């Protein structure tokens, strides 16, 4: 059996956790179930203990600040953990740890196997989620320099989509060193999509926290444009609206001439999310960039196809024309045109939702785990 260390900015209990942390936890739980020892070195957050064991996984939390955590965690690794593991996996999320550059030897006298796990690169997200001058510095200097250095570290590379692989190659990594593994979803696909009841009126769904890089406002504007051609169309929005951008979106909705047909549900219980996902006719996604868009696959698993922008991650999680549609241009008008086309053609709609549902059933964490084990050779 092997001992595995993960370095990750967030764990699954972190207030800002997302899909990447779900993947980390699902792989780790399966490793423990097979007898491997797993430790996750991650960041502190309010109310979290420095050290705890969950599902047989040891969590160690060091440093709370987003930009300094990686340096604090690297120092902790060198002083307290180096040499104790057979495999070290660094989940790269903007600020890397560079653990592979400080490898050392494990208890068997051998250098551990190091891997870099990229869900996505930040790239243009810098311009949406940070302000000047950090956005310019991050995009042009910090991330490119860090990735170039990591590409020379000798670590293996793991990712979840061809879009991210292409980004990594552009950043200096050797294509042959990059391994793509399956994503997975926790959501159980519906047993039979024919039994799924939809809303009486055609319904577009916006799902996920309102963030600048998600471009939720584009979805609202697309709805407005589509509604001019489909008067019965309604929009459901599920997700938090924290921060300046979220408030901007809510204010726009309040002033919309179609405000009466837009329902903002906010953060909802899992059962409500599942119900809305099943009953909506189409989910719209407008992210600037994703690693792999789990929202798409989750909606597909509930019998709801996606219409989205043609951006990294979305073109991976949607097979254009087969399981959903990508907009011809990344604009609200182009997205609206696709939504109208899909919802107005019953034969096309049924074909898309059936194909999407069938594909989602093959995207499982069991497959993700088996792919991961093959890459790290355990």
Rounded-to-integer distance, Cα 208 and Cα 241, Å: 9
Identify the CATH class of 193-360: alpha beta
Confidence of residue 108 (pLDDT cuts 50, 70, 90): low
pTM of structure: 0.91
- pLDDT score for 28: 98
162 and 180 in contact (C-beta within 8 Å)?
A: yes
Q: What is the pLDDT of residues 227-271, one digit of tens each?
A: 999 999 999 999 999 889 999 999 999 999 999 999 999 999 999
More confident position, 107 or 132 = 132
Contact between 47 and 11 under an 8 Å Cβ cutoff? The reply is no
pLDDT for res 123: 82
Decide whether 3-184+364-376 matches 193-360 in CATH topology. Answer: yes
Q: pLDDT tens digit string along 151-210?
A: 999 999 999 999 999 999 999 999 999 999 999 998 999 999 999 999 999 999 999 999
**pLDDT tens digits, one per residue of 75-93:** 999 999 998 999 999 999 8
Domain residue spans of the chain? 3-184+364-376, 193-360
- Fold (CATH) for 3-184+364-376: Rossmann fold (3.40.50)
Which residues, other chains included, contact 358 with Cβ-Cβ below 8 Å and sequence gap of 6+?
Answer: none
Average pLDDT, the chain: 94
Gap between the Cα atoms of 16 and 62, Å rounded: 16
């Amino acid at each position: 059996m092997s001992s595995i260390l993960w370095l990750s900015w967030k764990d699954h209990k972190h207030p800002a956790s997302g899909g990447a942390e779900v993947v980390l936890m699902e792989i780790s739980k399966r490793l423990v179930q097979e007898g491997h020892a797993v430790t996750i070195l991650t960041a502190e957050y309010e109310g979290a203990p420095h050290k705890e064991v969950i599902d047989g996984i040891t969590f160690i939390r060091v440093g709370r600040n987003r930009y300094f955590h990686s340096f604090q965690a690297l120092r902790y690794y060198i002083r307290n953990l180096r040499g104790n593991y057979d495999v070290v996996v660094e989940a790269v999320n903007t600020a890397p740890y560079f653990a592979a550059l400080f490898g050392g030897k494990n208890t068997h006298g051998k250098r551990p196997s190091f891997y870099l796990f990229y869900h996505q690169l930040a790239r243009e997200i810098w311009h949406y989620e940070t302000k000047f001058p950090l956005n310019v510095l991050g995009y042009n200097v910090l991330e490119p320099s860090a990735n170039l250095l990591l590409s020379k570290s000798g670590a293996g590379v793991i990712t979840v989509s061809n879009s991210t692989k292409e980004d990594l190659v552009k950043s200096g990594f050797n294509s042959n060193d990059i391994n793509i593994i399956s994503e997975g979803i926790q959501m159980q696909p519906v047993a039979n999509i024919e039994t799924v009841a939809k809303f009486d009126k055609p319904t577009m769904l916006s799902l996920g926290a309102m963030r600048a890089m998600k471009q939720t406002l584009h979805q609202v504007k697309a709805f407005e444009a589509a509604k001019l051609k489909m008067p019965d169309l309604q929009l459901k929005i599920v997700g938090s609206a924290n921060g300046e951008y979220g408030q901007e979106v809510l204010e726009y909705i309040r002033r919309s001439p179609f405000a009466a047909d837009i329902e903002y549900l906010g953060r909802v219980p899992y059962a409500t999310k599942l119900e809305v996902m099943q009953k909506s006719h189409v989910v719209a996604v407008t992210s600037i960039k994703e690693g792999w868009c789990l929202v798409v696959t989750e909606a597909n698993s509930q019998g709801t196809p996606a219409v989205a922008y043609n951006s990294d991650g979305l073109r991976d999680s949607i097979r254009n024309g087969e399981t959903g549609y990508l907009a011809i241009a990344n604009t609200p008008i182009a997205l609206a045109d696709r939504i109208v086309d899909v919802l107005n053609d019953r034969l096309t709609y049924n074909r898309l939702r059936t194909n999407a549902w069938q594909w989602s059933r093959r995207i499982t964490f069991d497959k993700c785990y088996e792919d991961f084990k093959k890459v790290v050779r355990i």
